[in-house]
Amino acid sequence: MPMFSHRVLSALAAVLLAASPLPAQAAASDVPSTIDRYLADAVEAGVPGIAVAVMRGGEVVHVGAAGTAGDGSPMTGDTLLRIESLSKSFTAAAVMQQVEQGRVGLDRPVRRYLPEFSVSDPRGARITVRHLLTHTSGMSDGTAPPLYRSDAATLEEAVARLGGATLAADPGTEFHYHNPNYHVLARMVEVVSGEDFGDYLEQRIFAPLGMHATQDTPMAAEHLPGMARGHTLAFGLAFPNRGIDYFTDGSGGVVSSARDMARWLWMNDNGGLSPTGERVLGEESVEEMHRPQGPEGADYGFGWYRAESAEGPPVRTSHSGAGSGFNAYQGLFTGSGYAVVVLTNHGAGLTAPQAGILGQNLLAELDAGIPPLTERGGAVRTDLVLSGLVLLTLVAVVSGVVRARRWAVRRRGGSVLVTAVCLVPLASVVVFVAGVPAFQLMATGRTAPWPLLFSVLPVGVVWLLLLGVGGAAVLVLRVGHCLGASTRLRAYAVRAPRARSR
């Protein structure tokens, strides 16, 4: 009897809890106003334009936007923006459709379906489709041809460029996030399906989901009608930034809107069904895409991460995207029932708001069970400090140029070794600045040329370039004056005895 009573009470409590809104959740009527207020605050804090879609319990509760699209028009839920690396989840979905049709096997070698794919490493023959999807192929930014170039305009050309790549590890043993993994996958879809990859996405994914504004583009700097303008942030202000042009199809080429991306989230949160009930993917395929795979400790599935944030729980299934002028995030917070997509028209930056942080902090406003993340602050202060360094460096460079001859004269007749040692600190500064992209690659595993680094920290890059170029100028002048003084001394030493003999 006591056990029966306990069960009855537990069941009654469950019914009451299900029938009543949890106090930790924002009331449904408050959600749109809460979201709109949050977006307005984000724009007030420096974000030029932002568009979001929020879902709860498998339903879209609000699509909102604030700020400017950068061309004089306001940002709206229908404004087109680059979603950058969120594109990988679309490529993964296209691959899984081919798997469901029996045309592709996840654990078969890629060359079985794409004979043209090869790398300059015999281990490349062991790379499987799953390895590419999970970034465990062994290919990496550090062992591939330079990525941020416009010498490839098609998927076929992008795959051909990999012929000179080597592997950083045996396939399946290490995680190396590498965009060309998804170039190869997109090309494989083209070959296996017999359709252009952009057309495939349009017909097999975008159209069934009702994502009628969404398009696929091959190049990063391509601008579509109705698309927002990209920006870089500095001193708390947004400056237009077209970005660098490079091949990005399959890994970051999709252009979409918050309203369209809500439909994509809906499919991922509803077992592969479209909002109208059309099956785009099987439920098991969606689960496979979201499931972390690869080496122990890896948290990447197929175009999706599944892990906690760097600051801790909750676990979310998500992916972020960042480029020179755009930032994007999609996240399924399954424990709370919430999902969110955030699109902004400013690029990633060390002092700029991240779309992922904006997304989670927005959900934290709606659900007390989702903790807010630490927002990056002090952007203006950081840029002012860096500006101070720019001015100090400029003064030092001008002084070094003006005083270079005097510096050499003071060392006239002295030890060559001592003079060389005095030049070492200046030479070290020049070498350090020249090696910044390489140091960045070693520290993060991702390559970033100077134009991309400029979009991340523009004032900092101006300082570094002034330091490097100015230091090199002073170094060349000092060495030149030293060599000139040495030549004059030798000429004088030859002429002096002749003069005395006369």
Q: Is 5's pLDDT higher than 50? A: no
Instruction: Count Cα atoms within 13 angstroms, Cβ side, for 98.
Output: 25
More confident call, 483 vs 279:
279
pLDDT reported for residue 492: 42
Model pLDDT, residue 25? 55
Angle at 413 between CA 412 and CA 414, to 5 degrees: 90
Better-predicted residue by pLDDT, 200 or 335: 200
pLDDT computed for residue 377 by the predictor: 72
- Average pLDDT over the chain reads 89
CATH superfamily entry for domain 26-366: DD-peptidase/beta-lactamase superfamily (3.40.710.10)
- Give yes or no for residue 9 having a pLDDT over 60: no
pLDDT digits (tens, 9 = 90+) for 426-463: 999 999 999 999 998 888 888 888 888 988 899 999 99
Give tens-digit pLDDT for 370-426.
999 998 777 889 999 999 999 999 999 999 999 999 998 888 878 889 888 999 999
Distance CA 228, CA 240 (A): 11
313 SS3 class: strand
CA distances from 272 to 96, 275, 282, 310, 362 (A): 11, 10, 6, 29, 26
Instruction: Give yes or no for a contact between 140 and 178, defined as CB atoms under 8 angstroms apart.
Output: yes
Of residues 245, 177, 216, 247, the one with CA closest to residue 90: 216
Q: What is the pLDDT confidence band of residue 218, given thresholds at 50, 70 and 90?
A: very high
Cβ contact 97:188 at 8 Å:
no
Q: What is the pLDDT of residue 300?
A: 97
Instruction: Please report the pLDDT score of residue 159 as a whole number.
Output: 97
- Tens of pLDDT along 231-272? 999 998 899 988 889 999 999 999 999 999 999 999 999 999
pLDDT tens for each residue of 326-348:
999 999 999 899 999 999 999 88
Please tell me the distance from the alpha carbon of residue 364 to that of residue 331, in angstroms, as a whole number.
13
Per-residue pLDDT of 279-305, as tens digits, reads: 999 999 999 999 999 888 889 999 999
Statement: residue 493 has pLDDT above 50 = no
Other Cβ atoms closer than 10 A to 271: 15
Q: Is 78 left (phi over 0), alpha (psi -120 to 50) or beta?
A: alpha
Rounded Cα–Cα distance for residues 72 and 258 (Å): 19
How many alpha carbons fall within 13 Å on the CB side of residue 39? 26
Boundaries of every domain in the chain: 26-366, 379-501
Task: Show the tokens assigned to 399.
Answer: 């002084």
Return the DSSP state at 426: H
Mean pLDDT of 25-51: 87
pLDDT(360) > 70? yes
Query: Given this model, what pLDDT does residue 11 score?
Result: 37
Q: Residue 28 has what pLDDT?
A: 58
Q: Summarize the confidence of residues 299-314 as an average pLDDT.
A: 94
Tokens of 446: 């991702």
* Amino acid 444: pLDDT: 87
pLDDT at 20 over 70: no
Contact of 24 with 367, CB cutoff 8 Å? yes
Question: In angstroms, rounded to a whole number, what is the distance separating the alpha carbons of residues 302 and 130?
Answer: 8
- Alpha-carbon Rg for the chain, nearest whole angstrom, is 28
What is the mean predicted confidence (pLDDT) over 169-188?
97
- In this predicted structure, what is the pLDDT of residue 489? 42
**Which of 61-75, 150-164, 256-270, 474-488 shows the lowest per-residue confidence on average (mean pLDDT)?**
474-488
Burial 130-161 (b: 16+ CB within 10 A, else e): bbbbbbbbbbbbebbeebbeeebeebeebbeb
